[in-house]
């Protein structure tokens, strides 16, 4: 006999987070009869009884890792009335729902590995509130058989927990214990060493050795952060002379090494467990982060990490296990092959990693995401008002800090940080990610968005796919994409009006064929106009100018009439040849790059003048130096129509003697020059707000100074996605969606 009841569809991040047992408990308390299941669209609840406050409870009381986007109530018809309320198996494959990112070990599991019981000291303890998700997932729906846990058959005790709706491990797909789950071991020279892997590894770290450790998304290289000899050895072996090294510390050890604000502590304890940048107390060797005022620290985020750092009883360097420029190593065999020259020993386990993910990096004060990866991906972003019916779009980003983006069902999935596409293995990882995300999320785009630069590998790849599949190809100017990404993150409506976009970065091809990088744009998702820009300077040697700051300093000093100062500052540099190249325009294209401007200032102040050992080193050291300043000389950039001329800054450098004050003056002058012009656009009514984007705005000091000078304007900044090219694909996707049919 048919009977009318109710159906509730819950959309969002609702699988693999304990949502079904949560619903079961709500139903039991309300005396409802029916079923709850996972399927391709999320969670489906069908029941008889009064829905009452169930819809509100589903939103307000959801499990810690759940993100509820929508709860839709409708009428349902039952062929036969259910007798009780049951949790049923997942439906068939599909990808309308959100996949949960990996989550740091929850307090209950942390406690369990220290208490007597069958999981005491077990490195793979997890439950529905924590543990691996995306890094073990091979296909949807998220069930054990579709993860790298499939080879591990549950023992009777784990099966009982898995099947019990009242247990926090109900349908926890990575559930395991020492009797049935992955195992851990330490090996040296390809041979397993007998004994407890954690204790053995801790002893080696205490002895100053370097240990490779297999984590969630790949391997780390670890050493004692207090041991300057171990740090020097790690840097020598890895060929990483000065790039800051990430640290892992227990919460009780943080205050001894960094200044921990409430915002930083909250960021550290987020389920994503990112690396968080915090002011250094100067108690660790300077070689951890040479020339930097901040240290990047994360808390242990797996039981393995908790057990190891407690056995070690101190702070560890925990840097990515990879060859220079290559992606992070993920498999045991790959680690043995590629990390053998770096590591004295390996902590291995036999659970495969389905996809590599670097650690995410954030700054807490003010909050900003610098690298979007483990724990944040594949979390999605809602599209702004006006994009509700946006077609499916794939966007491929740029050449640096590559990441791709998919738009589907009113959400944008911004992929994980991949790296620089010039590197062959990173390019392979990019192609794998493209196929992986498309398959995992059942994505069938109508349009492809790429950067305007025709020689970017991602641009060529997108163009080839569009031609092959008959898709609409949309080429998006680099800085327009940055502007759109900032607008989209802040949910600026599709028809919300034009915005003044201050976009400062390294470089991007302009529609005029010139290399841009210090821009004030007036625009929205549909288009833009270039309103002002830094006065261009030649990039002598092309790409070499990005790694050798003296080249940028030479051009800027010459333009300011300070050629003699350049000769004195860089006596061993090939200045005559460089000046000839600049004069003749031979491999010396003009650029308005703000990134190269900061490089030039840094070189003049003696920071990384000859060569940077990693991208952004000079600018990062310049910011750190500026933070030490007590005062700065007053400097205002020149104003020649639309061009913003930094020559007065270099004349101040020639007169000055306080490097820290001059470093601060560079930040203040740049912020003032662009903020003044952006505010004028708002005051005239042609712009409704100001947006700050581009990699140079990873500089927290510059962000603060610019926002202070726009205090009477609405200012949009990045918080959830990077200001750098890691978010470029998101902006491209929004511009393309606005241009496709129906928009």
Using a 10 angstrom Cβ sphere, with 0-12 exposed, 13-18 middle and 19 or more buried, the burial of residue 658 is middle
Cβ 354 vs Cβ 252: under 8 Å: no
Phi, psi of 621 (to 5 degrees): -70, -35
Q: What is the pLDDT of residues 582-622, one digit of tens each?
A: 999 999 999 999 999 999 999 999 999 999 999 999 999 99
Domain pair 378-490+722-739 / 534-716, same fold: yes
* Confidence at residue 16, expressed as pLDDT on a 0 to 100 scale: 77
Domain ranges of the chain: 3-87, 184-363, 378-490+722-739, 534-716
* Confidence at residue 227, expressed as pLDDT on a 0 to 100 scale: 98
* Confidence at residue 96, expressed as pLDDT on a 0 to 100 scale: 57
Q: What is the pLDDT of residues 322-347, one digit of tens each?
A: 987 788 999 999 999 999 999 999 99
Strands of the sheet with 411-414, listed across from one edge: 380-382, 411-414, 405-408, 393-395, 447-451, 472-476
Q: What is the pLDDT of residues 640-652, one digit of tens each?
A: 889 999 999 999 9
Residues facing 210 on adjacent strands: none
Query: What pTM was computed for the model?
Result: 0.94
Query: 702 pLDDT band (50/70/90 cuts)?
Result: very high
Question: CA nearest 346: which of 232, 221, 440, 514?
Answer: 221
With a cut of 70, say whether residue 98 has pLDDT above it.
no
Secondary structure element (H or E) that encloses residue 212, with its range: strand 211-214
Name the DSSP letter for residue 23: H
Q: Which residues belong to the active site?
A: 20, 38
Cis before residue 237, ω within 30 degrees of 0? no
Q: What is the pLDDT of residues 544-556, one digit of tens each?
A: 999 999 999 999 9
Q: CA-CA distance, 250 to 390, in Å (whole number)?
A: 45
Question: CA nearest 510: which of 522, 502, 518?
Answer: 518
CB within 8 Å of 112: residues ≥ 6 apart: 119, 120, 125
Rg (C-alpha) for the chain, rounded Å, is 27
* Confidence at residue 89, expressed as pLDDT on a 0 to 100 scale: 74
Is 534-716 a domain of CATH 3.30.1450.10? no
SS3 344: coil
Q: What average pLDDT score do residues 302-312 get?
A: 98
* Confidence at residue 139, expressed as pLDDT on a 0 to 100 scale: 84
Q: What is the pLDDT of residues 3-62, one digit of tens each?
A: 999 999 998 888 878 899 999 999 999 999 999 988 878 899 999 998 889 999 999 999
* Confidence at residue 573, expressed as pLDDT on a 0 to 100 scale: 95
Query: 1 pLDDT band (50/70/90 cuts)?
Result: confident
Query: 90 pLDDT band (50/70/90 cuts)?
Result: low
Architecture field, domain 184-363: Alpha-Beta Complex (3.90)
Identify the CATH number of the domain defined by range 3-87.
Answer: 3.30.70.100
Q: What is the pLDDT of residues 365-397, one digit of tens each?
A: 889 999 999 999 998 999 999 999 899 999 999
pLDDT greater at residue 95 or residue 471: 471
* Confidence at residue 93, expressed as pLDDT on a 0 to 100 scale: 58
Q: What is the pLDDT of residues 434-460, one digit of tens each?
A: 999 998 888 999 999 999 999 999 999
Which two three-digit tokens encode residue 123? 């490195």
Q: CA separation (Å) from 373 to 403, 421, 704, 721? A: 10, 17, 25, 10
Query: 212 pLDDT band (50/70/90 cuts)?
Result: very high
Q: Domain 378-490+722-739 - what CATH class?
A: alpha beta
Q: What average pLDDT score do residues 244-260 get?
A: 97
Q: CA-CA distance, 365 to 277, in Å (whole number)?
A: 9
Specify the residue for token string 């200045």: 575
Q: CA-CA distance, 218 to 221, in Å (whole number)?
A: 10
Q: CA-CA distance, 43 to 67, in Å (whole number)?
A: 12
Q: What is the pLDDT of residues 673-686, one digit of tens each?
A: 999 999 999 999 99
* Confidence at residue 81, expressed as pLDDT on a 0 to 100 scale: 87
Q: Among 164-168, 506-510, 537-541, 657-661, which is the least confidently predicted range?
A: 164-168
Across the chain, mean pLDDT equals 95
With a cut of 90, say whether residue 174 has pLDDT above it.
yes
* Confidence at residue 505, expressed as pLDDT on a 0 to 100 scale: 97
Q: CA separation (Å) from 711 to 140, 387, 676, 691, 714? A: 47, 30, 11, 13, 8
């Amino acid at each position: 006999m048919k009977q009318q009841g109710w159906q509730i569809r819950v959309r969002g991040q609702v699988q693999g987070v304990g949502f079904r047992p949560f619903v079961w408990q709500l139903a039991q308390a309300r005396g409802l009869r029916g079923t709850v299941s996972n399927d391709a669209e999320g969670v489906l609840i069908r029941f008889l009884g009064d829905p009452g406050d169930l819809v509100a409870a589903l939103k307000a009381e959801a499990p810690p890792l759940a993100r509820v986007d929508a709860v839709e109530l409708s009428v349902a018809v039952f062929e036969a009335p259910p007798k009780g309320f049951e949790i049923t198996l997942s439906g068939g494959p599909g990808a309308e729902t959100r996949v949960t990112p990996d989550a740091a070990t929850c307090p209950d599991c942390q406690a369990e590995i220290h208490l007597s019981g069958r999981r005491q000291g077990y490195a793979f303890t997890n439950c529905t509130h924590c543990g691996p998700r995306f890094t073990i997932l091979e296909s949807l729906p998220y069930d054990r058989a579709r993860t790298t846990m499939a080879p591990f058959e549950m023992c009777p005790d784990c099966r009982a927990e898995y099947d019990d709706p009242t247990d926090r491990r109900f349908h926890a797909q990575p559930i395991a214990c020492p009797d049935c789950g992955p195992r851990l071991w330490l090996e040296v020279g390809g041979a397993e060493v007998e004994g407890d892997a954690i204790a053995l590894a801790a002893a080696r770290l205490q002895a100053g050795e370097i240990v490779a450790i297999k984590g969630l998304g790949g391997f780390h290289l670890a050493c004692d952060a207090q041991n300057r000899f171990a740090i020097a050895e790690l840097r020598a072996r890895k060929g990483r002379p000065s790039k800051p090294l990430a640290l892992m510390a227990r919460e009780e050890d943080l205050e001894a090494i960094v200044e921990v604000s409430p915002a930083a502590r909250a960021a550290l304890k987020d389920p994503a467990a990112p690396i968080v940048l915090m002011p250094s107390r100067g108690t660790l060797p300077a070689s951890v982060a040479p020339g930097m005022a901040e240290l990047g620290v994360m808390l242990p985020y797996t039981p393995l990490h908790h057990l190891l750092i407690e056995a070690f009883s101190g702070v560890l360097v925990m840097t990515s296990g990879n060859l220079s420029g290559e992606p992070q190593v993920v498999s045991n065999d790959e680690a043995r092959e590629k990390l053998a020259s770096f590591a004295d020993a390996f902590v291995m386990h036999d659970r495969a990693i389905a996809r590599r993910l670097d650690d995410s990096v954030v700054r807490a004060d003010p909050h900003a995401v610098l690298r979007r990866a483990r724990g944040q991906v594949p979390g999605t972003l809602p599209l702004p008002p006006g994009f509700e019916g946006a077609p499916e779009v794939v966007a491929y980003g740029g050449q640096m800090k590559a990441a791709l983006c998919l738009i589907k069902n009113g959400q944008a999935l911004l992929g994980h940080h991949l790296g620089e596409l010039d590197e062959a293995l990173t390019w392979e990882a990019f192609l794998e990610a493209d196929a992986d995300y498309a398959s995992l999320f059942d994505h069938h785009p109508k349009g492809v968005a790429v950067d305007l630069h025709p020689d970017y590998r991602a641009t060529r790849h997108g163009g080839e796919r569009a031609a092959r599949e008959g898709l609409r190809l949309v080429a998006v100017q680099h800085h327009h994409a940055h502007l759109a990404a900032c607008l989209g993150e802040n949910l600026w409506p599709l028809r919300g009006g034009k915005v003044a976009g201050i976009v400062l970065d390294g470089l991007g091809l302009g529609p005029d064929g010139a290399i841009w990088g210090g821009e004030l744009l007036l625009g929205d998702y549909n288009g833009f106009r270039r309103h002002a820009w830094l006065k261009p300077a030649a990039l002598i040697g092309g790409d070499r100018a990005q790694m050798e700051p003296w080249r940028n300093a030479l051009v800027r000093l010459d333009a300011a009439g300070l050629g003699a100062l350049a000769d004195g500052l860089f006596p061993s540099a090939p200045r005559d040849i460089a000046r000839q190249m600049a004069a003749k325009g031979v491999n010396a294209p003009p650029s308005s790059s703000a990134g190269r401007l900061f490089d030039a200032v840094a070189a003049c102040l003696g920071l990384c003048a000859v060569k940077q050992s990693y991208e952004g080193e000079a600018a990062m050291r310049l910011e750190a130096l500026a933070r030490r300043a007590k005062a700065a000389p007053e400097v205002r950039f020149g104003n020649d129509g639309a061009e913003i001329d930094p020559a007065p800054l270099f004349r101040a450098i020639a007169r000055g003697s306080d490097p820290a004050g001059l470093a601060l003056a560079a930040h203040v002058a740049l912020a003032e020059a662009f903020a003044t012009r952006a505010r004028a656009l708002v005051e005239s009514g042609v712009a409704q707000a100001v947006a700050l984007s581009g990699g140079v705005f990873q500089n927290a000091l510059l962000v603060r100074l610019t926002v202070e000078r726009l205090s009477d304007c609405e200012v949009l900044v990045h918080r959830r996605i990077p200001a750098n090219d890691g978010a470029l694909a998101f902006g491209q996707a929004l511009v393309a969606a606005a241009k496709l049919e129906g928009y």
